[in-house]
Amino acid sequence: MARIILIFLLITAVTATTKAQRNEDFTQREKPNIVLFIADDLGAHDIGPYGNEIVRTPNLDRLAKQSMKFTQAFVASPTCTPSRSAIYTGLMPFHNGAHANHTGVKGGTCSIVQYLEPLGYRVAIAGKLHVGPQEVFTFERIENTNVPQPGYEDKGVLYTDLNLEPVDQWLSERSQAEPFALIVADHSPHVVWPHDAAYQSDKMNIPLRHIDTPEYRAARTRYYTDVTKMDRNVGQLLASLEEYGLAQNTVFVFVSDHGPQFPFGKWGLYDYGIQTPLLVRWPARVEEGSVSDVMISLVDLLPTFIELTGGEAPQILDGQSFLPVLSGESNTHRQFVFASHTGDKKMNRSPMRMVRTDQYKYILNLAPEILYTTHIDRVKAEGYWDSWLERSFENEHAASVLWRYHNRPAEELYDLKKDPREQHNLVGDPKYTRQLNRLRKRLAQWREEQGDVETGPYQPDSSRRHVRVPYIF
């Protein structure tokens, strides 16, 4: 009997040792790397994988064929800093504190760095930063990835290019035993768009929400040129992963921080402003060329990364892991997605909140009495706004576009199945009273949970010290 017990203990010890070795082997060799590529101010439908037949994005087209493509992915805010802060913290803007552009998160907030480093990961960033404070976002920073555009060295930060040569070197020198999470944040297609366009004006597609003028067509050719420029950067990064034998064990994720700087895009809660492309490639784990219609919020990225690297996401996060969707174990995820827009310094003073289901969207405009304005009509940097003004005196459609741009009602409700371009506000239609009340209640509940008590334009919190949020580093 004693001999049997001894044999059992020996077998158990050997099994435990073998299991420990397997776990160690997984930790050191099999944990996947993560690469998150963030485009800057890109509309979801302004690339080939999402149906755009004019813009040239061959690298994204190829990536989509190797990835799971999400058709209903949304950002937390249609503005740079709040959106990026939400991605990196897994918390919505009012929860982490960075709900207005150029503002920092609350002290003591944890970011992707604090979550993944204890799991054995190097967490690095290249390109655009635009979050703070530094003690929260303690990325390993890959230097010299932000360079001035040739010929525009003295024109300011908006003429910054992404330089991927240091990233290529960083990848070539990485330790085989140490997995990494790498964020590559491009500057394209954020304005200022390239002045030398690679597209023809007469070949442009003009969205119904916009006004067709020669000046606008010219601006759109420059935007598409910048989209193609961003696509080349994606291709260069993918090539580096292949060259160094990293592609097979790397989860590659492509997103945008929000929609483009066109009317009804950036700084607004219509889908053109908050819908993001989301492509996820994970060889041998995620089905190539697959498509998912589940609703995703980009705050879901962080808990997904934590789970796929062997950790457990804390319940404090607003994000929810969608790893079961990626693995094919589930085809459901969120019932609601939310987004908020507070303001962008003095240029935009029209705060709004949103809740969306797969069919309906409700927008609450907190200051409908204030004329809606943004950099688009105030700065006129891209050269087409005056042509829109002139056309509005000649054309009924143009006049209606400008009126709708500047005047936002207190509430908006859209049936996205019947009206995907969000042209017909259903508030006041008795057939939709039930849906309106349901979404009003859900948004009010969410705002209370988030600590969002704002009633009008953003006013800086004097109790919090100023946090510098550099655009680049």
Which CATH fold topology does 28-334 show? Alkaline Phosphatase, subunit A (3.40.720)
pLDDT > 50? residue 26: no
Per-residue confidence (pLDDT) for residue 467, from 0 to 100 = 79
Q: Across residues 378-392, what is the average pLDDT? A: 94
Report the pLDDT value the prediction gives residue 11, as an integer from 0 to 100. 41
pLDDT over threshold 80, residue 23: no
pLDDT tens readout for residues 272-315: 999 999 999 999 999 999 999 999 999 999 999 999 999 999 99
How far is 428 from 387, CA to CA, in rounded Å? 34
Local confidence band at 30 (pLDDT 50, 70, 90 cut-offs): confident
Please tell me the class of the 341-450 domain: alpha beta
pLDDT of residue 14: 42
Between residues 19 and 324, which one has the greater pLDDT?
324
Please determine, for residue 5, whether its predicted confidence score (pLDDT) is greater than 50.
no
Residue ranges per domain, the chain?
A: 28-334, 341-450
Average pLDDT estimate for 169-181: 93
Confidence of residue 115 (pLDDT cuts 50, 70, 90): very high
Question: Mean pLDDT across the stretch 310-339?
Answer: 97
State the pLDDT confidence band at 9, using cuts at 50, 70 and 90: very low
pLDDT reported for residue 175: 83
Say what percent of the chain tops pLDDT 90: 87
Please state, rounded to an integer, the average pLDDT across all residues of the chain: 93
Which pLDDT band, with edges at 50, 70 and 90, does 18 fall under? very low
pLDDT over 70 (residue 66): yes
Q: Is 394 left (phi over 0), alpha (psi -120 to 50) or beta?
A: alpha
Confidence band for 8, pLDDT divided at 50, 70 and 90: very low
Band (pLDDT 50/70/90 cuts) for residue 20 is: very low
pLDDT at residue 208 in the model = 93
Task: Using the predicted structure, report yes or no on whether residue 466 has a pLDDT greater than 80.
Answer: no
Q: Positive or negative, the Cα torsion across 420, 426, 427, 432?
A: negative
Which 3-state string (H, E, C) describes the chain? CHHHHHHHHHHHHHHHHHHHHHHHHHHHHHCCEEEEEEECCCCCCCCHHHCCCCCCCHHHHHHHHCCEEEEEEECCCCCHHHHHHHHHHCCCHHHHCCCCCCCCCCCCCCCHHHHHHHHCCEEEEEECCCCCCCCCCCCEECCCCEEECCCCCCCCHHHEEECCHHHHHHHHCCCCCCCEEEEEECCCCCCCCCCCCCCCHHHCCCCCCCCCCHHHHHHHHHHHHHHHHHHHHHHHHHHHHHHCCCHHHEEEEEEECCCCCCCCCCCCCCHHHHEEEEEEECCCCCCCCEEEEEEEEHHHHHHHHHHHCCCCCCCCCCCCCCHHHHCCCCCCCCCCEEEEECCCCCCCCCCEEEEECCCEEEEEECCCCCCCCCHHHHCCCCCCHHHHHHHHCCCHHHHHHHHHHHCCCCEEEEECCCCCCCCCCCCCCHHHHHHHHHHHHHHHHHHHHHCCCCCCCCCCCCCCCCCCCCCCC
**Residue range 245-273: average pLDDT?**
97
Report pLDDT for 10: 43
Give the model confidence (pLDDT) of 216-256 as tens digits: 999 999 999 999 999 999 999 999 999 999 999 999 999 99
Interval 118-147 mean pLDDT: 97
Residue 12 pLDDT level (bands cut at 50, 70, 90): very low
Q: Please tell me the predicted confidence (pLDDT) of residue 24.
A: 43
Long-range contacts of 303-308 (CB under 8 A, 24+ apart): 303/90, 305/34, 305/112, 305/115, 305/116, 305/181, 305/251, 306/115, 306/116, 306/119, 308/32, 308/34, 308/251
Q: How confident is the model at residue 440 (pLDDT cuts 50, 70, 90)?
A: very high
- Please tell me the predicted confidence (pLDDT) of residue 32: 97
77: left (phi over 0), alpha (psi -120 to 50) or beta: beta
Weakest-pLDDT range from 29-38, 114-123, 324-333: 29-38
pLDDT for 6 equals 44
Per-residue pLDDT band for 25 (boundaries 50, 70, 90) equals: very low
- Please give the pLDDT value at position 468: 78
Is residue 401 within 8 A of residue 394, CB to CB? The reply is no
Whether the pLDDT of residue 169 is over 50: the answer is yes
8 or 391, higher pLDDT = 391
Q: How confident is the model at residue 405 (pLDDT cuts 50, 70, 90)?
A: very high
Residue 261: pLDDT over 60? yes
The pLDDT of 25-48, averaged and rounded, is 85
Using a cut of 0.75, tell me whether the model's pTM lies above it. Answer: yes
Q: What is the pLDDT of residue 471?
A: 84
Q: What percent of the chain has pLDDT over 70?
A: 93
Q: Which of 13-17, 268-272, 436-440 has the lowest mean pLDDT?
A: 13-17
Which own/partner contact pairs does 150-155 have at CB distance under 8 Å and 24+ positions apart? 155/192
SS (H, E, C) 235-287: HHHHHHHHHCCCHHHEEEEEEECCCCCCCCCCCCCCHHHHEEEEEEECCCCCC
